[in-house]
Each structure stands twice: as C-alpha cells, then as structure tokens.
Structure 1
Amino acid sequence: MSLPAAKRWNLLPPADPSRVWALTEALPIGAEVAALLVQRGVDTPEAAAAFFHPDLRRLPNPLLMRDMDQAVARLARALHEGEKVLVLGDYDVDGITSVAMVMSYLEPLFGAERLRDYIPDRYTEGYGISPTAIDFAAANGFALIIALDCGVKAVEQVAYAASKNVDFIICDHHLPGEELPAAVAVLDPKRPDCPYPYKELSGCGVGFKLMQALGQHLGLDDAPLYDLLDLVTVSIAADIVPITGENRVLAAYGLRCFNEDGAHLRPGLAALRELATLREGPLGISSLIFGFAPRINAAGRMGDARRAVAMLLAPDQQEARYTAEVVDQMNQQRRGSDQQTTQEALDMIASSPTLREARATVLYKPDWHQGVLGIVASRCLDQYYRPTVILTQRDGKATGSARSVAGFDVHEALEACAPLLDQFGGHRAAAGLTLKVENVAAFQRRFEEVVADTLTSEHLVRPVDIALVLPLSRVTQEFFAELRRMEPFGPGNPNPVFASHRVVAVPGSARIVGQGHLKLRLASAEESGPAVDAIGFGLAEYLPRISEGQPFSVCYTVEINEYRGQRNVQLRVLDVKW
C-alpha cells in the first residue's frame, strides 16, 4: 500500500498580540484560546464574553425579517378562522426537522385534525414545491401551505397555488432568484431587501423564527418554543451551516437537550441515539452529523421521508422506538447500497488508466441508486481528491451529484458545460445535474476540459488549516477543558488544528489497530515532559518510518479518550511530516 495522500499545511495568520493580551486580561482564559478567538474575529472582551455565554434572550427580533409581519398575520388568521394548514418541507434532514418542528409547535394551537405534514417524493415529485403537493392541498381543503427549506424560487408553483385558492408562507434560506414568488410572505434572510442581521440560518432556523414571532403575537410562553431546539440543532448540524452568531446560540442550547440530565429530548431522537450506538461522552455537532443525519436522510433516499417525520413526532418511547427502528433499517439499506456503489465506482477508476490520470472524475452507470450518488461522490473524492460527478439513469435521463475540492467552484464548472445539460443547480462545493443519456460521453469530455483548464495543482492537495504551533507539553486535560469552552464546533467555528514539531514515538508504543489506524504515544524530542496518547485514522502506513525513531511533525486536534472509566487527553493525528 502507498502512503496516505499528501496534505497541504496552511498555518493561519497569527493573532494580533495586543488583542490577545486584552482578552487574557479581561477573561480567565489562556493565551492560546485567546489567540484562537482573535483569529475567528472574536477580538474584544465583550464579544468573547458573549461567545462563551450564549443567551437565547439576545436573539434578534424575528419581526426584523422581511415579510414576517404578513406571515404572522396570515397564520393567526388561519388559527382564528379554523383553516387547515399543510406543513411542507424538503426531503432532506433540514426539511424533515423543519416540518417536525413546526408541527410540534402548531398542533397544540390548531389541533391535529387541522394540520398535516407533507414531504415530496424524491423520485416522483423532485425537490421543493410540486404541482402534486398543491393539488393535494386544494383537494383536501388546505387553505394555507407553510413551505420549509424550499420555495424561494417557486414562482410558477406559487402562482399555480393561487389559481387553486391556496396561500403560501415560504420559509427558506437558499439564495433567491431575480423574481420572488407572489406568496403571502417569503421569509429568507438572504433576500437582498431583508434587514435581518443574521443571514446563515438553516431552513429549520427560519421556521423557528416564524414560530417565535407567532408566539410573541399570541403572548405565549417561550418554554414550548425552546423545547424545539433539539430539532433545530440537528438541522444546523446536517445542513453544514456556520456555527456562528445566532446558529451558535441555538446549537449550544439544543445540544443541552442531548447532554444534560433531565433535559427535554423528544422520544424520536432519544430512540435514534440508542440505535446509533454513539461513543460515550457529550454529543457535539459532529455526533449529530454522523450519528443522526444519515439515518434521518435515509428515509428520503430509500423510501418515504414521512417515516422520519413520524419518528420525530412520536409521542412516546414505544412508538418512537418502532419508527426509529424502521428508519434505522432504511439507513442500513442505504449503507449497503452506497458501499456497493462506491466500490463499483472506485473499481471503474482503478481499472482505467485514463480515469486514474484525469483531473476530474465523471462516472455513469444506469442501474446505480439515485439516492446514494452524493454519498458516493464524496467517497470517491476522499480517495481521489478532485472534482467528482456520479451519474445514474432515471426516467430516461442521466441524473447525478457533483462534489468539489476546496477552493474549486464546481457550480461554475457546470455552467461552462451548460449546453450539454438539461438542468443543474447547487453551490461551489456540491451540485446536482440532469442531462440526456446520449450527452453523457460529451459531458465527460467537456467537464474534464473545463477542470483541466482551471484547476491548479494546489487544488489537488487537501488543505489542513493549522491554527497554532504548540509544544507538546501544553496539551493537557486542563488545556482541553479550555478548548471545550469554544464548543460547539463546526463550520465557521472549527475544532482547532494544532501542530507540534520534533516529536518522537515512545519506543514500543506505535502499533496498528483496527482497519489501518495508527496508535502510539508521542513525546518531545527536545524537552522533558509526559508523553501524550495519539491516534491517526488511516495512517498505519507511516508505522515503519515512525518506528525508526527520527523526529517528525504532527498536526492534530485534541480530544478526550474514555476507556474503561479512564479519561485521558489524546491527539487525533491528521497528518505527519518529516
């Protein structure tokens, strides 16, 4: 086997020493944590105090969001006039949690008989608001649809609904088009004319602000609203929105539902936590991403996403456990499908010299399951770090998902291929596309040309952003406790990566564990001090050279390893250099 793929170490610019000093003087924190805060723009004592003490009472007023007053008025009218409301969401985690959150809040107000959830079928209706959903609403007496995590570009669909006397309130967080739908209200902080101060809410977060505004209008207590933050936090984690500003406050409180004894965690999520068999210790954003999101997503990928909604709305542990087991079984089916498809895709690359040497990966197989293509694209990108498109066939068309490397805009690359595509959409890092099957070969050639012309050799080396260089002696349990005050970690507030130079493996400590992982104890080659446990996933090929005893450099994150009741600080090694 070859050595792990090389990584590009980027040492982040050093923090302003005067600002670091100001934080250490004002707050009980060490210089390293102060430097991390300044690097992230939290560079005054006041900002740092607010960062360390998230406060729901300081959330922006929901009425600052454009159209919020109209949305609340229309929803209040529906409540008082006995209208039925359809709560519609996308089929991914953000949409599913949005629907469960709004249903949970509105049911005590409206009654179950006047509410119904609706998730479009991924394969027969596609993304967002479909004519099928509108026809369902009109035929069943729903005068109002609340669309969650979708709808900001649904101009034609909302016009069609108006012709059926069905109103829309849209809660979205995606970039709008040139024309907004003529809905009663379009709630989207990314609207150019929206003055709401925080722009990075998840779709569920926008729905939460609507419920917050409705509660204020009706004079309701905040407690039922805050009970919804477990769902909002799952959406924040799964949708990879920045853990900054308002999202950080919402996530910090939501994680308490998972981690604090006696805290409210809905039965569906509690059942899912048991089935996910997550490791001991407090759950963070990454636990929700890897333990909860794939299972909730699997319902929409492999069947009916409403099963996931039913799980999240289950009123008791018995029903929650049953629905969670159904969702978990769907996830196992999804895993089997994506593992098989991933292996087939990697085999296709390995068996073709042309594909191995290409600057991009474009693979097509007509019998691959559409629901796993994004996952397979990400797995291929992990193995061959380059822009990747995975395609299958559905309804006579080739359809698929694209994923990109850091710094390369895959949506822009698809725009350069637009004459060959029927439709595409997404953003810099990920996109979806549809094209005629007969255009697949031409698209493979054109996409490769575009990528080869614009991709630099630097793009093809995975970057690691290193916040600080530390002496190994600084990595202690006390230091880890300081770092934990910066949680929850995620996009915009990442778990900091550190580097230490001239370290060696304690003789006899380095060994291979599991499937190709490196376990060892590290010590400084130049100063005395205790050795530190370390593990490097997928780094077993470094064992022979590490065992030679020559000093090397490591970059890593810091964690606590809990084993048989013992808690020890541990480095999670990301890369090694000599």
Structure 2
Amino acid sequence: MALQARWQQVALMDLPADFLVAVGRYCGQSAGEKVAQLLWRRGIRDRASLDRFIDPRTYQPCDPFAFGVEMKRAVARLDRARQDGERVTIWGDFDADGITSTSVLWDGLGQFFPPEQLDYYIPNRDRESHGLNIANLDRLATEGTTLIVTCDTGSTNLTEIAHAHTLGLEIIVTDHHTLPPERPDVVAIINPRYFAADHPLYHLSGVAVAYKLVEALYQRFPDLPQTPLTDLLDLVAIGLIADLVALQGDCRYLAQVGIEQLRKQDHPQTATRPGVAELLKLCKRSGDRPTDISFGIGPRINAVSRIQGDARFCVELLTSRDRPRCQALAEQTELANTRRKELQKTMVAAVEKRLEQVDLSTTHVIVLDDPQWSAGVLGLVAGQVAQDYGRPTILLTLGDDGMARGSARSTHGIDLYQLVYSQRELLHRFGGHPFAAGLSLAADNLPLFREGINQALRRQLPDPTQLRPTIAVDLSVTVAELGETLFKELKLLEPCGMGNPAPLLLIEDCWFQTVRNANIKDRSGKQVKYIKTQFMICDRTSSQGFPGVWWGHYSDELQGDRRYDAIAELDYNTYQNRYEIRLIDLRPSQAHSPNTAQTPAILDWRTDPDPNADRIDCVRVDHCPLVWDDIQQRFHRAVHQAQPLALAYHAPAAPSPEDHLKRLIGMAQHLHTTGHTVTLADFQAALQVSDRQLTLSLAALTAMGFSQEHTPQGIRITAYQSPTDAAAADVVVTQLCDAIAETHFRHTYFERVPLTTVQQKLAESET
C-alpha cells in the first residue's frame, strides 16, 4: 500500500491591482484571479514576464550559435561532409525524446544531404541499451559511414568514442544528459549542460538540441532547404514534453510554438505528418494541449521499445508521408501501448507486495530486483513507486549473464544522478540526469549497492519521515466553479510540466455518485487489464455533479455514503467533448474526521487482548511497527472503512546483536561446508531480519571473509579466508549490530507507547 501523502496548501495572497488587470486581459470570460495567484507564486510578477510567459510571439529565443565554437565546428564539419559526398549516420535513442531527435535530424539534415548520403540507427532496448556500442560502430565503419551525429545520447560514451577513432569515424554529439569530467574527443559536443543552470537553453531536451543544430544549418545555408524550419516544431514539442524536462526559457517557447504546429496535424487540410495525425486519432486527442503528448502520443512512442525492443520504425512513422504505411505503423504503436499498460499494472502490484516486507523506517532508497520483471516498463513502474512512496526508486531485472539491469527515478528534488554516481565503483554502466537514470551492475554487487546508496542518501537526509510523499495543492475550488471558464483561465499556464506543474485543485467536503468502473478496451474491443473509474463529483454548491475519472482505481474505493476531500486536475476530454476532472488523491473529509464522532475507536489489545477479537469487525495492526507510518496507514484504512483500529501486536522475540552474529556465522559455515544454495528469502526468514538487516548481514559476511555467489536461484558460500582488513570488518559488523539493536529498541517502544500518545499521533496525521 502506498504511503498516505501530505497535502500542502499555500494561502492566497493580496496581489497588486495592476498585475491582476494585466492577467485579466488574457482571461476573457473571467477576471483571472485564480490563475494570477498561480502565476505570482511561480515567479511571473510583472507585465513583461507575463507577456513572455503566455505569448510566445513576445519571447526572444536564443540563437543556435549561443553554443559557441561547438556549434560552429558541427556546422562546418557537416558542410564538408555534404560537399565531399560522405556518408553520415544519425545515432539516436529508443525513447520518445530519442525517436523525435532522430526524426528531426532525419528531416532536417535531409534538406542538406541526398538520401544516399544519410541514414539513421536506433539501438535495440533489449539487446543494446542506451548510447553508442562497439559492435554497431564496427558495422557502420564497414558500410562506409565516416561521420556520426548522435542525438539524445553520446556525452559519456568515452570508450566507444575512442574506439570510433580507431575506425576512422568522427563524431558530433548532440545530447542533454550529464557531462563527463572532461570534454570527449569529438568534432563537437552540443550539450546545454555546459551552460549555467539559469541559462534559457540549460533545460533543452535531446530533440531541442537536435533542432538547434538544424536551425544553425538553416541560418548558415538559407538557400538549400526546401521546407520551412517550423515544420519540425511539432516533433520538438513531442520530444520535449514526453521527456519531462523543465519547461522554462527556450524549452517553454519551443513547446508553445511546437504545440501550435502539432495542432495542424489534426486537420486534413493542414496536416503535414500522416503518422502524427494517426497517433492523435488513436489516442482521441486534437494536439492542442501538452497532455495530448504526455498522456497520448508520448506513451505510445515509448511503448514500442518497451514491448518490442526495436523502435526503428517509429522514425518512419513520424517522418513518412505515405498515409497507408503510417496508418499500419500507428496501429503497431497502439498494440504496444495496450500491452505496456497491462505489464505496468501487473508489475506495480508485484512491487507493492514486495514493499510490504521492506522496513521503510530505515529505507531511504528503494532498490528491488526480480528476474521475471520486464525491463521495458521498469522505468515507468519506478516512477510510480517513487511518487507513491516518496523515495527514489531503483528497479532491476536479473539476466542469465549475472548482470542486473534497470531504471531509477527520483522524487523530492533529490539529484538521482549524483546519488547513483556515488556507487560508481559497483556499476558496469550508468547514464541519465537528476530525475531519471539507467544502470547495470553485477548481481553479486546488489547487496553492497543497496546498502551503499541508502547510506549516501541517509547522510543527506537522516530522518526518513522527510521522504513522505507530498502533494502541493494550488487552489481550493467548489464543484460549481469547475468547467469551461476555469479551464480556460488555468490553460494560460500551459504547457505544464517539470518546473511548471499542472494546477492541482482541492475540492472539500464532496461526495461521489453514478460511480462505475471497467477495464479499458483495445482497438479490437478486447479488454485490457487496466482499470479506470468514472463518476460524478458533488458538493454543497452542485448536487447535479461534475464528471470525472480515476485511473487505476476501482469503484468500490468511492463509497456513495461518505464525504471526502479530493485533489484533482481539471481537464478537457476531446473524445467525449466535455470538461472533466482527473482525480489525483483522496481522503475522508476533514469536516468529518479526527475531531468528530466518525473518528474510529482505537482498541488497545497489546497487553489485554479481547477474547472476542475474532468476531469484531476492525482494522488490525498485527505486526509490531517500526515507524508511525506503519500505524497511520492502518488508521487511514480504518477511517475509510468506518471501523475501529485494533493494536493487536507484540514485540517479536528477537535475538540480541551478539546472538544474531553467532547465528549468521553458523549459517555461513554450514553453507560453506555443505556447498548448498539457499534462496535469499529463506536465508532472511531463518535470520528473522528486515531487508536492510539482510543486506548488512551479507556485507558483514563478506567483511569477515565469507565469499558469496549470488544467482537467480539464491546465495552460496564459495570460500572462506580470514579477513585481510580486520578494522574494516569491525566497522561493517558494528553497523549490523547497531541496526539489530535499533530495531529491538523501536519494537520495544511501540509495544509500550501509551495509548494517549498513539491517539495524539494519529490525530496529527489527519491534519
């Protein structure tokens, strides 16, 4: 079960009258008071910045040659390749940003190079992962390529770049990922990370960097192109918004003008990309909003490599003018996206089940692995888990080659790249940025990696309660205020994304009626194992209600006789031609909670169990907690079900740190003598320890001289020799003993904490 999120709401401010007037001029039907509050909080506080934010025609984008000598070198080298008839290969990536980057270069460079001089390559997600690889560098050199232009990749591929030099290949890197310590030995590297963090170009995604390269060529050789540069902007918007970069500076500008171009694809008279038009049709959207990308086009492009591995045809889908061919390719993306939804739902459930066994009181970074998990959806699930549990999350799948490969996602503004980089000595490959990363490492290194990365974040944030999920509420509204007028007012904030989130609305003391749910269906009418609940939301201002949807939830989670506080986004459903809300989070109404008669009774059965306990309907806490969240989650369920909460636990009989150490060594000696393999689950059960304590126990065995072999089947002790560094071994053993002692202390505390303290803590959790 995901952790209950804190809700934070900022009080309304008294805004200057001239600012309210300036905002109101953009709002038409309303005075704009609500969106003015949001603009002010987001740093838009004068007429000039307001105009630049809302109207892209008043924004002055950066010149592509702001990249300086690197851009000049890239343009000069491409011009020489064009004149000398060299073969140029675009090396892209398989996600939406990489696919659109490749498409922009394919269309853009195609204005300067004849088809026989230009091709592109997209790595296979399943076989090759991100970045350059030696096998295909060898192949390209053999086939006659002399110049490679990367997009959305390449900055840290130092080994592969060095190998390319031995083959006579030259490389231009266009990328936006984290930079290596030293400049790579390439013709040019166009990467906005070289700018200061407040530079208008700093947040460009891969597709926007690729666009800037094409824009520079259009400036330098204006007589060669046959199509307008603006024809590329719809692809730029798709990649920018799908990649979740901060929509600030030139990023926001390019997203705005890109959406204007994307809107043209919804009309036969103005459509220039039949593939994009087909994608919009399949996701039942018109292309005039960023959500048409983030919930429509983007997931479909991303789904192809997640499900099939090979996403090369997506470039053809986005750039071909052959309508029947594009229609067939778009159908393939739709099928892949349907399968992706099923896999994602199944894996989220599996991860949540595993997390029931994780000690979140001592876990700062969630690191889980399973050989059965599909690599293609690890990043999506990691992102959902990170959001629901408030902790950076790393999910990995284990291969037959003894390697663990997976994806990492961040939360709470934690720099994930630096966090994972702190464990670089344990990694095989790693790349990404502060919000998301991909990595691989030997499976044998997983216990050390799990403990090491937790220690790294623990040093930054000693108190794990700081990692509780938090939802920032933007505005409080009534149901009567929902609809077209408010939607158009809030739409001034678009495009929303990182750094400029979609407004979250708080609707208090509401109820739901006409609640129903069903599995969604694919194009053939087959049901997909992915749930959405539809409803009408009501409050004292509107008994008729307003339509809404809650993705991934069942109708029985909305009880018709209960009052709630809800957080939602206001949306427009193009397919049904109606305004609706998208439910984000829910809790019992504060007007009917802790301080009222509806607060559940708390039954204390720790020392005096009720003989009739089995016949009493209640929510039980059967396992001794380690943190208050363990009780609070059950309390929230009791509130939701209108049942008492029963404290029915005892502190487990746990061995002392010294006894645990003796048992651990005895088990290791037995495994070494017999040569047996034991699953980690059985090993953990025999020791009666948490996930973190298991990690520390394995690290302690290593420090004490017990060599281990980890396989998908379990763990085996392969050798023993006296530790060469006794002092270092003592440090690891002390860490283990301290963790055992800490757990014992916490269990004892929660067994003895007074009921009045429990009641006070639970009341605080509801505020």
What's the TM-score, normalizing by structure 1? Answer: 0.86
- Residue 558 of structure 1: how far off its partner (Å): 2.1
Secondary structure of residue in 2 paired with 1:247 = helix
Distance in 1, matches of 2:584 and 2:344, equals 27
Q: What does residue 735 of structure 2 align with?
A: none
- Per-residue CA distance 1:184-243 (angstroms, 9 max, x = gap): 221112115899742111111011011111011112479521111121111111110122
Deviations 1:27-66 (A, max 9, x none): 6552222222222222211221222221398322111112
Q: Distance in 2 between matches of 1:56 and 1:163?
A: 49
Give the whole-Å Cα distance in 2 for the aligned partners of 1:417 and 1:378. 21
Q: Retained in 2: the 8 A contact 1:536–1:574? A: no
- Alpha-carbon spacing, 1:256–1:521, altered in 2? closer, same or farther (3 Å): same
Taking the aligned partners of 1:516 and 1:193, their CA distance within structure 2 comes to 43
State the partner residue of 1:313: 319
Aligned residue among 10, 15, 18 for 1:17:
15
Q: How far did residue 103 of structure 1 move?
A: 0.8
Residue 291 in structure 1 maps to residue 305 in structure 2 = no
Q: Please give the alpha-carbon distance, in whole angstroms, between the structure 2 residues aligned to 1:418 and 1:256.
A: 43
Residue identity matched to 1:426:
G
Partner of 1:547: 561
Indicate yes or no: 2:168 matched with 1:165. Answer: yes
2:673 is matched with: none
Deviation at 1:496, TM superposition (A): 1.1
Deviation string 1:305-350 (CA, Å, 9 cap, x unpaired) is: 2122222232211111222233444444544544444444444445
Decide whether the 8 Å contact of 1:125 with 1:132 is kept in 2: no
In the alignment, which of 249, 256, 259 is matched to residue 252 of structure 1?
256
Cα distance in 2 for partners of 1:156, 1:418 equals 16
Which of residues 227, 242, 246 in structure 1 aligns to 2:246?
242
Instruction: For 1:383-394, list aligned pairs within 5 A.
Output: 384-394=389-399
1:286, 1:490 within 8 Å by CA — same for their partners in 2? Answer: no
Distance 1:142 1:194 in 2: 36
How far apart in 2 are the matches of 1:150 and 1:56?
Answer: 32
Distance in 1 separating the partners of 2:183 and 2:238: 28
How far apart in 2 are the matches of 1:469 and 1:16? 16
Write the distance in 2 (CA, Å) between the matches of 1:247 and 1:385. Answer: 27
Distance across 2 between alignment mates of 1:121 and 1:137: 16
| Partners of 1:64 and 1:196 within 8 A in 2 | no
- Residues 148 and 170, structure 2, Cα contact 8 Å, conserved in 1: yes
Determine the structure 2 residue equivalent to 1:151.
Answer: 154
Q: Which runs of 5+ in 2 are unaligned?
A: 519-530, 591-767
**Equivalent of 2:548 in 535, 547, 552:** 535
In the other structure, the counterpart of 1:362 is: 367
The residue number in structure 2 matching 1:497 is 504
Q: Is the 1:518–1:539 Cα contact (8 Å) retained in structure 2?
A: no
Deviating more after overlay: 33-42 vs 151-160: 151-160
Unaligned segments of structure 1, at least 5 residues: none
CA distance in 2 between partners of 1:383 and 1:48 (Å):
34
Higher mean displacement: 487-496 or 326-335: 326-335
DSSP 3-state at the match of 2:181: coil
Return the offset for 1:182: 2.3
In structure 2, the CA distance between the partners of 1:230 and 1:475, relative to structure 1 (3 Å rule), is same
Equivalent residue, structure 2, for 1:31: 33
Cα distance change on mapping 1:187 and 1:362 into 2, 3 Å: closer
Partner of 2:655: none
Q: 1:27 to 1:157 in 2, by over 3 A?
A: same
2:95 is aligned with 1:95: no
| Distance across 2 between alignment mates of 1:158 and 1:33 | 49
Does residue 233 of structure 1 match 2:237? yes
Question: Superposed, which structure 2 residues align to 1:471-486 within 5 Å?
Answer: 473-486=480-493
Aligned length: 562
User: Quick one: structure 1 residues 188 and 523, their matched pair in 2 at CA, closer, same or farther if it must change by over 3 Å?
Assistant: same
Q: Which amino acid aligns with 2:283?
A: L
Is this contact kept in 1: 2:392–2:416, CA < 8 A?
yes
Q: Which one scores higher on RCO, CA 8 angstroms, separation ≥ 6?
A: 1
Residue by residue over 1:449-481, the C-alpha shift from the partner in whole angstroms, topping out at 9 and shown as x without a partner, is 666674645444322112233455544422222
Instruction: Say which is worse superposed, 219-228 or 184-193, in terms of deviation.
Output: 219-228
The residue that corresponds to 2:617 in the other structure is none
What pairs up with 1:50-89 in 2 under 5 angstroms?
Answer: 50-55=52-57, 58-66=60-68, 67-89=70-92
The aligned residue for residue 185 of structure 1 is: 188
* Equivalent position SS for 1:228: helix
Tell me, in whole angstroms, the C-alpha distance in 2 between the residues paired with 1:319 and 1:411. Answer: 40
By how many angstroms is 1:491 displaced? Answer: 1.8
Residue deviations 1:348-394 (CA, integer Å, cap 9, x gap): 445xx456877354332224332232233234446655443222223
Greater Rg over alpha carbons, structure: 2
Checking the alignment, whether the CA contact within 8 Å between 2:275 and 2:327 is kept in structure 1 is yes
> By how many angstroms is 1:82 displaced?
1.9
Instruction: Tell me whether 1:523 sits opposite 2:539 in the alignment.
Output: yes
Task: Tell whether 2:219 aligns with 1:216.
Answer: yes
Would the alpha carbon gap of residues 16 and 200 (structure 1) be closer, same or farther in structure 2, given more than 3 Å must change? farther
TM-score by length of 2: 0.66
Per-residue CA deviations over 1:129-177 (Å, capped at 9, x if unaligned) read 2223332332222222111111222334333333333222211112212
Q: 1:112 aligns with which of 91, 97, 115?
A: 115
The corresponding residue for 2:402 is 396
Letter in 1 for 2:43: G
Q: Show CA shifts across 1:528-550 (max 9, x none).
A: 67865153623856644x725x6
Q: SS state of the match for residue 485, structure 1?
A: helix
Rounded Cα–Cα distance in structure 1 between residues aligned with 2:485 and 2:427: 55
| 8 Å Cα contact 1:22-1:44 kept in structure 2 | no
AA matched with 1:488: P
Percent identity for Structure 1 against Structure 2: 29
Distance in 2, matches of 1:446 and 1:438, equals 14
Residue 500 to residue 236, structure 1, CA distance change in 2 (3 Å): same
Aligned to 1:496, the other structure's residue is in SS state coil
SS of residue paired to 2:56 = coil
* Structure 1 pair 253–263 and aligned structure 2 pair: CA distance change class (3 A): farther
Deviation per residue, 1:277-305 (Å, 9 max, x gap): 32455552223123222332233332222
Instruction: Compute the RMSD of aligned alpha carbons.
Output: 3.4
Superposed, 1:342-381 pairs within 5 Å as 342-350=348-356, 353-354=357-358, 359=363, 360-381=365-386
